[in-house]
């Protein structure tokens, strides 16, 4: 579903991502772990077609992101680490705007918006302007906007930051549900306990290079993901 081959991104004289290979299969929850500045956001933005890169190839469901960025974007939902949404819109206007872009029918969008707004307890806030939302409320709205078009691939940058415990719990369940239905999820996190419980596979990057990847069992063995991560960091 997502194939990253030899991805390299350079900022000035800094190699933020260095010859990175990753392969996320259909139905997998894939965790992306690394220290601050390791290159996670850079990789994620390149996969979503919002950041150009210097070398390598990225394929979404077999489509090359440089050759057909719109084709790739039609299959992706991206939830950034900082939900910078349109403050001049109300929540419901924003969701309808996203549903329009992805050409979701009125009936289907209504059903999905009601379901997820209820789940994340922001039904009443949808009539308010996004400028009045807290960080967590914006994060919830970004998640609902991602789910409204039933994407094949969800890419999330630190999705649990700012969510209250109930919303985190709902999101974890939704992630499992989406993957059971055949979608794939690629997400970065610093919350290693969550990654350990949730992910089928995990990759750890350090200074832009993949240092380990595989199934959660392969990577952590008999120890915890936290122990493996801290050992590799040293």
Residues near ligand ATP (CB under 6 A) are 11, 14, 16, 34, 36-42
C-alpha torsion sign, points 231, 211, 81, 198: negative
**Shorter beta-carbon distance to ligand ATP: residue 15 or 172:** 15
Task: Tell me how far, at minimum, the Cβ of 32 lies from ligand ATP, in Å.
Answer: 9
Task: Tell me how far, at minimum, the Cβ of 229 lies from ligand ATP, in Å.
Answer: 13
Phi/psi at 99 (5° precision): -65, -35
Strands 55-60 and 63-64: antiparallel
Task: Tell me how far, at minimum, the Cβ of 175 lies from ligand ATP, in Å.
Answer: 20
* Contact predicate 94/84, CB 8 Å: no
**Shorter beta-carbon distance to ligand ATP: residue 45 or 152:** 45
Task: Tell me how far, at minimum, the Cβ of 51 lies from ligand ATP, in Å.
Answer: 9
Q: Residue 145: CB partners within 8 Å, gap ≥ 6?
A: 77, 94, 95, 98
**Shorter beta-carbon distance to ligand ATP: residue 12 or 165:** 12
Task: Tell me how far, at minimum, the Cβ of 128 lies from ligand ATP, in Å.
Answer: 29
**Shorter beta-carbon distance to ligand ATP: residue 10 or 89:** 10
**Shorter beta-carbon distance to ligand ATP: residue 94 or 229:** 229
* Contact predicate 133/148, CB 8 Å: no
* Contact predicate 174/29, CB 8 Å: no
Nearest to 150 by CA among 186, 126, 184: 184
């Amino acid at each position: 579903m997502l194939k990253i081959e030899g991805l390299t991104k350079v900022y000035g004289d800094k190699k933020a991502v260095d010859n990175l290979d990753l392969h996320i299969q259909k139905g997998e929850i894939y965790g992306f772990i690394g220290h601050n500045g390791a290159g996670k956001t850079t990789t994620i933005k390149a996969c979503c077609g919002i950041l150009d890169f210097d070398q390598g190839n990225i394929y979404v469901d077999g489509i090359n992101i440089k050759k057909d960025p719109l084709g790739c974007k039609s299959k992706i939902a991206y939830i950034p680490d900082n939900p910078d949404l349109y403050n001049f819109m109300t929540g419901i206007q924003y969701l309808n705007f996203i549903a329009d872009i992805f050409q979701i029918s009125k009936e289907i969008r209504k059903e999905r918006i009601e379901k997820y707004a209820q789940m994340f307890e922001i039904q009443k806030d949808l009539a308010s302007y996004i400028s009045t939302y807290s960080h967590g409320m914006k994060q919830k709205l970004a998640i609902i906007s991602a789910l409204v078009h039933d994407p094949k691939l969800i890419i999330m940058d630190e999705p649990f930051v700012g969510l209250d415990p109930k919303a985190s719990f709902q999101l974890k369940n939704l992630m499992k549900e989406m993957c059971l239905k055949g979608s794939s999820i690629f997400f970065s996190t610093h919350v290693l306990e969550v990654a350990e419980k949730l992910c089928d596979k995990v990759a750890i990057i350090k200074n832009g290079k993949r240092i380990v990847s595989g199934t959660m069992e392969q990577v952590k063995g008999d120890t915890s993901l936290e122990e493996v991560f801290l050992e590799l960091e040293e």
